[in-house]
A and B are shown apart, each in its own frame.
Chain A
Amino acid sequence: MKLAKRPASYLLLVTILVACAACSAKSVPVHIEFSASWAGQPVQCDDTPLALTDLRFYVSEVLVIDSSGAEHPVSLTPDERWQQQNIALIDLENGAGACSNGTSDMNSAIRGTVTTSDFAGIRFTIGVPFEMNHANPLLAQPPLDDAAMHWHWRSGYKFLRAGISSPNDSFWIHLGSTGCEGTIQNITGCSSPNRVTIELSDFSADGGRVALDLAELSRGIDLQDGTGSDCSSSPAESECAAPFERLGLTIDGVTNLQPQKVFQVQR
């Protein structure tokens, strides 16, 4: 009722309503399905000889790129568990078999809307935006309330946790920002943000399918020598070099220099 005292507010409200009526008229659903693969074939937690051991990641800043190259932000549809407006958690492990440290809940798709029907490609970030990444995880809303995705001693989230095992060997990676300055809950910046920008062309966003290929992610890592390989996003770890390169990241995590190889459009 305070509005009645401010005629200008009415005008503003009407303007917003008109604007949104126009935009909602062109609102198109977006549904992007993610899957786990090994050299192009599906891979799951109870497969042999190669089994998925983990695959969970945050997707944020989703854009549709139209045929003229213009960008259209996708507004994710908030729910109680997997999505806020600008960030979603994809969980492709089911807690069974080799994924016994995971959860039975799964979420394979992001769902939202965009104001174009001209889908030439998509772009998204694997990562949590800086301002959300360093807030108190115990006060966060879903999907940022998942303790398994938080990296307490690195004072931010694990953007991606992925792993694969063979009968006598394994590889896993936890990707997240490192080299962060300041104190927890007062982080001022990170020398290696390690957010990965993925751009995929030739894409139909209403029924798009994207595979994360673990053979590409672990290329160059011997999964038979029995030594076990892991990468916790530290430049100190030699085993981070290969997966970082496959993700298109330089080891300092600042730039996406090379084209990434890990995420692929599936037909």
Chain B
Amino acid sequence: MKYFVAIVGVGVVVAIAIFASQGATYDWRLPSTYPEPQVPAHNPMSDTKVELGRWLFYDTRLSGNNTMSCATCHIQALAFTDGKNRSVGSTGTVHPRNSMSLVNTAYASRLTWANPSLDRLEDQALTPLLGDNPVEMGMGGHEAEIAALLASDEKYRRLAEASFPSDENPNSVLNVVRSIAAFVRSIVSFDSPYDRYLAGDFTALSPAAERGLELFFSEELECFHCHGGFNFTDSSTHANSTVDQVGFHNTGLYNLNASGAYPEDNTGLFDMTGQVRDMGRFKAPSLRNISLTAPYMHDGSIATLDAVIDHYARGGRLIADGSNAGDGRLSPFKSEFVDGFDLSKSERADLIEFLASLTDNSVLTNERWTDPFER
């Protein structure tokens, strides 16, 4: 009996390996009206690889002091954000930025808040894993341990061999980041009430949410210029797109010394390019599941959606005193779309109800993305 199980087990692994080598067969489980994401040629999707990536995503052994995993800052119940203003690394260092949702990052043309070069999840994974300024997971200098983790764990070894069948030695840092990238790429979501409404179920949105939709897509509010398209961000791409669509915007959150400056640890695109015109420019995040991902903005400096609407209605934020004092409305670098608007109390409630209709509750519990260690 034991032998039979072993033989069947080997057969399954071989079958999985063959399946995995034919990456094109991966099922994204998408509604037919949405395109598939782009996938790098060197890292085709497979269910096995996604499964390996899932274990690694939740594995605290991928932090220098075994205290945190990717999931520490990307919690499924919060649409893979962490609820903090700014995330905290494994050694207690506070990150300058707010944790971004991982839902539909497969469709992001650029990753993180303000990096014009970063377009692949495989490359992105290296920063939280290995970076030392700030320390996030703190594995810099421990690369050998990352590869050893794959080799030492029986389950990981089996999944890695099946996920990377043509690799002589699949136990590498490269394959760890490829697997985690495949897992994150698999987190796609198009089953919000708004999606069902678009698909023809006109009961999916309440009348208030319908009114909010009208406001959202109005020229008066201008929301959709930056938060447009199927993923509610202008930095979106997919397998069939032919343009490299990327947008970074200054929304007038800060205006230090009336010079347009942002706090020095968070200058956005300017930090990357050194061009003054890029001061305070950040990527417009997707608004999918936005009701669940407070606090808001790149630095978590706005606590509620209501206060976010205050900021945009005013056409920039006024900070009356303190080291960040300044009137963002007057910033010389502010986007032309952040012009301010008037909204009645009921219109504001409608807009917030529409934003709530972008929540796909299935994302929060889908077992393909839950913590496998807790099963």
Pick from A155, A236, A238: contact of B271, CB below 8 A. Answer: A236
Q: Does B250 contact A (CB under 8 A)?
A: no
Secondary structure class of chain A's binding surface, majority of residues: mixed
Distance (Å) between the CB of B206 and the closest chain A CB?
41
Specify the chain B residue showing the minimal Cβ separation from A234: B271
User: A147 contacts B117, CB within 8 Å?
Assistant: no
Q: Does A13 contact B (CB under 8 A)?
A: no
User: A138 contacts B177, CB within 8 Å?
Assistant: yes
Stretch at the interface among B11-19, B119-127, B359-367: B119-127
Q: Does A179 contact B (CB under 8 A)?
A: yes
User: B270 contacts A153, CB within 8 Å?
Assistant: no
Contact-size category for B = 20 to 34
Stretch at the interface among A76-84, A182-190, A241-249: A182-190
Pick from A152, A181, A192, A230: contact of B123, CB below 8 A. Answer: A152
Q: Per-residue CB proximity of B97-141 to A under 8 Å, as 1/0?
A: 000000000000000100111111001001100111100000011
Secondary structure class of chain B's binding surface, majority of residues: loop
Q: Per-residue CB proximity of A78-102 to B under 8 Å, as 1/0?
A: 0000000000000000000000011
List A residues 162-185 near B (Cβ within 8 Å): 174, 178-185
Known: A138-B172, A179-B273, A252-B274. Is A153-B115 also a contact (CB below 8 A)?
yes
User: B132 contacts A101, CB within 8 Å?
Assistant: yes
User: CA A181 – CA B112 in complex, angstroms?
Assistant: 17
Distance (Å) between the CB of A136 and the closest chain B CB?
8
Contacts of A153 in B (CB 8 A): 112, 115, 118, 127, 131
List B residues 21-64 near A (Cβ within 8 Å): none
Q: Per-residue CB proximity of A141-169 to B under 8 Å, as 1/0?
A: 00000011010111100000000000000
Contacts of A236 in B (CB 8 A): 264, 267, 270-271, 274
User: A237 contacts B264, CB within 8 Å?
Assistant: yes
Pick from B116, B130, B264: contact of A152, CB below 8 A. Answer: B130
User: CA A152 – CA B134 in complex, angstroms?
Assistant: 12
User: B112 contacts A138, CB within 8 Å?
Assistant: no
User: B274 contacts A235, CB within 8 Å?
Assistant: yes
Q: Does A191 contact B (CB under 8 A)?
A: yes
Q: Does A116 contact B (CB under 8 A)?
A: no
Contacts of A8 in B (CB 8 A): none
Specify the chain A residue showing the minimal Cβ separation from B246: A183
Distance (Å) between the CB of B43 and the closest chain A CB?
12
Q: Does A67 contact B (CB under 8 A)?
A: no
User: CA A179 – CA B277 in complex, angstroms?
Assistant: 13
Q: Does A117 contact B (CB under 8 A)?
A: no
Contacts of B264 in A (CB 8 A): 236-238
Which of B177, B270, B272 counts the most A-chain CB atoms under 10 A from its CB? B272
Distance (Å) between the CB of A244 and the closest chain B CB?
12
Pick from A103, A138, A234: contact of B141, CB below 8 A. Answer: A103
Q: Does A232 contact B (CB under 8 A)?
A: yes
User: CA A179 – CA B267 in complex, angstroms?
Assistant: 14
Specify the chain A residue showing the minimal Cβ separation from B115: A153
Known: A139-B174, A179-B272. Is A184-B267 also a contact (CB below 8 A)?
no
Contacts of A237 in B (CB 8 A): 264
Q: Per-residue CB proximity of B320-357 to A under 8 Å, as 1/0?
A: 00000000000000000000000000000000000000
Distance (Å) between the CB of A245 and the closest chain B CB?
16
User: CA A237 – CA B263 in complex, angstroms?
Assistant: 11
User: CA A235 – CA B275 in complex, angstroms?
Assistant: 9
User: B131 contacts A179, CB within 8 Å?
Assistant: no
User: CA A179 – CA B132 in complex, angstroms?
Assistant: 20
Pick from A103, A152, A180: contact of B131, CB below 8 A. Answer: A152
Contacts of B132 in A (CB 8 A): 101, 148
Contacts of A148 in B (CB 8 A): 130, 132, 140-141
Contacts of B256 in A (CB 8 A): none
Pick from B118, B133, B140, B274: contact of A183, CB below 8 A. Answer: B118
Specify the chain A residue showing the minimal Cβ separation from B118: A184
Q: Does B306 contact A (CB under 8 A)?
A: no
User: A178 contacts B123, CB within 8 Å?
Assistant: no
User: A184 contacts B174, CB within 8 Å?
Assistant: no
Known: A153-B112, A155-B118. Is A232-B133 also a contact (CB below 8 A)?
yes
The 4 A-B pairs with the shortest beta carbon distances in the complex, nearest first, are A235-B274, A152-B126, A138-B174, A152-B127
Q: List, sorted by A's number, 15 A–B pairs whose CB atoms are closer than 8 Å.
A: A102-B141, A147-B141, A147-B143, A148-B140, A148-B141, A152-B126, A153-B115, A178-B274, A180-B117, A182-B117, A183-B119, A191-B275, A234-B271, A235-B274, A236-B270
List 6 additional A-B contacts (Cβ < 8 Å) besides A184-B119, A234-B267: A179-B272, A183-B119, A184-B120, A187-B117, A234-B272, A238-B264
